Structure 1
Amino acid sequence: MENVPELYEIFQGEVATITDYGAFIKIPGCRKQGLVHKTQMSASRVDVPSEIVDVGERVWVKVIARETKDGKEKISLSMKVVHQGTGKDLDSNNVALEWCTDQAPVVSLLNSLPFMI
């Protein structure tokens, strides 16, 4: 049985491949890989993922989503919510992840800005 990480679990994996849209990370203890989309690589904007990571590099990641589509499990990962030196969770309450994955609060906040000033 494969040791697939749970939602919000942090682990250190190895960069397997790099694409224009992110990097696939080998998950230790299983044959699966997870995707770190380029928007989840850094708090700063990332245009070219290969400028952030190299194939074979070990990185700390957090599982931010798991979904099954057409019988295949897809695992989404984030590097930006994990300290790359220590593996410490920088978003232990998963607040930043909620803001990233649910656009409604961002839109509501932006629409309220003129009234907040």
Structure 2
Amino acid sequence: MELEAGSVVEGRVVRVTDFGAFVELPGGEQGLVHISQIAHEFVRNVRDFLNEGDIVQVMVKGRDAKGRLDLSIKDLTPAPEGAPP
């Protein structure tokens, strides 16, 4: 499955760290949802939002210099009223 920037796919959280969550996508490839891309609100603890085994919708933001997938959950939800862009 070719994953391009802007693609929206469903995946399963396979590992949670202090800096984000790794999500396995269809085809077995994994990507990172950085802590800053989980929610519009401040996320102090990733585990307050995501746990291993959770099924989530993610948007592919692109790939980093090493070819790893950069994912976002936040980009799929509307920003709260008055939130900075």
User: What's the TM-score once normalised by structure 1's chain length?
Assistant: 0.63
Unaligned 5+ segments in structure 1 are: 84-89, 91-98, 100-117
Q: When the two structures are aligned, how many residues end up with a matched partner?
A: 81
Q: Larger strand proportion, structure 1 or 2? A: 2
**Partners in 1 of 2:68 and 2:61 — Cα distance?**
11
Q: Cα RMSD over matched residues?
A: 1.9
What code does the residue aligned with 1:52 have?
F
Alignment of structure 1 residues 34-45 onto 2, 5 Å: 34-45=31-42
**Partners in 1 of 2:32 and 2:42 — Cα distance?**
17
- Quick check: 2:5–2:61 contact (8 Å CA) kept in 1? yes
Identify the residue that residue 75 of structure 2 maps to in structure 1: 81
Residue of 33, 42, 47 corresponding to 2:44: 47
* Percent identity of equivalent pairs: 32
| Greater RCO (Cα-Cα under 8 Å, separation 6 or more) | 2
- The SS at the match of 1:46 is coil
Question: Bigger radius of gyration, 1 or 2?
Answer: 1
What code does the residue aligned with 2:5 have?
L
Over 3 Å off, 4+ runs? none
